[in-house]
Amino acid sequence: MNLIGVDGGASGARVYRIAPENFSVLEWREQLYAGRDWVEVCAGLLMSLLSGPTVVGFAMPGIKTSDRRGIERLNHAPPCPDFLDRLARRLPSEVYLGLLGSDGELAALGESVPPGRLVGVRSGYYLGGGTGVSEGLLENGVASPIAPRAWELGWEDRLAPSAWNADFRARTGRDPEPSLEEEALRGEPEALAVLRKAGEAMSEFLALRALSVERIVLGQRYGRLLEEPFTVLFPVRSKVELVGSRHRAAPAVGAAMRAHSDFQILFSPLS
């Protein structure tokens, strides 16, 4: 069986071909939407990795439709309520499309297999930051969403790295170059101030969550900030073990794992 995981964000999509036996990444493609239709971009990426009967899982942002076949509402991109229906019409009939899942929830699941940072952990919390913020819980190998979400609590504008860049832009009249953390590492005072404020906000948010988990994983853009030499620039405090992850494929791996499991249940000889 060919297994693929899709990580769709507000700005673009990454598509990974995954090994069904251990869920390791075999190859991947990435493309920005750049004003193009989500379905068109995802269809093209998938076609480049298809090989016979294929199972595809999806980690997507936003509020899903009740049947989990579309995206009803997003903060950083237009909705796509008929996403899977339109995508299916562009792909061969031998492709099974799993239902849309939460990017944060599935990232937590993807972090539970190597090289993830929740391997061997009974309970964990994943928090990823990019254009927006994604969250997910892992309990005994089972991933689930968390509610209310950061954006529903009004925290996304303080936690999302895209908001940090906007803060820097407002202070200096320019974009950080090549990144906010690199600017801070060079001693740029406004970049240092933005990251210090961001670290304080992160500490406050984690204290507010007050989760009874073994480990907290900060992924996506956050993962880099918990590595040397940047960790001193991003002072985050937590009562729970805090680790960073640079496993960019985690949401897609989790999506592939979920779709693979659903496919086996759905088409089991005993079902």
Nearest-angstrom CA–CA distance, 97 and 94: 10
User: What is residue 271's predicted lDDT score, i.e. its pLDDT?
Assistant: 44
- What residues of the chain score a pLDDT lower than 50? 270-271
Among 128, 59, 135, smallest CA distance to 100 is for 59
In the numeric block, which tokens belong to residue 185? 């590492």
DSSP bridge pairs for 128? 134, 219
User: What is residue 269's predicted lDDT score, i.e. its pLDDT?
Assistant: 61
In the numeric block, which tokens belong to residue 197? 């404020």
Q: What is the 3-state secondary structure (H, E, C) of 191-220?
A: HHHHHHHHHHHHHHHHHHHCCCCCEEEEEE
Q: Is 52 left (phi over 0), alpha (psi -120 to 50) or beta?
A: left
Q: What is the 3-state secondary structure (H, E, C) of 97-161?
A: EEEEEEHHHHHHHHCCCCCCCCCCCCEEEEEEECCCEEEEEEECCEEECCCCCCCCCCCHHHHCH
The three-class DSSP label of residue 22 is coil
Average confidence score pLDDT of the chain: 93
The three-class DSSP label of residue 24 is coil
Phi, psi torsion values for 6, nearest 5 degrees: -115, 130
pLDDT tens for 143-178 read 999 989 998 899 999 999 999 999 999 999 999 999
User: What is residue 266's predicted lDDT score, i.e. its pLDDT?
Assistant: 86
Rg (CA), the chain: 19
Contacts with 135 (C-beta within 8 Å, 6 or more apart), sequence order: 104, 105, 125, 126, 127, 128, 145, 146, 149, 150
Question: How do strand 133-139 and strand 123-129 relate by DSSP bridges?
Answer: antiparallel
Predicted structure pTM score? 0.93
User: What is residue 11's predicted lDDT score, i.e. its pLDDT?
Assistant: 82
Contact predicate 158/132, CB 8 Å: no
Total number of residues shown for the chain:
271
Nearest-angstrom CA–CA distance, 162 and 75: 12
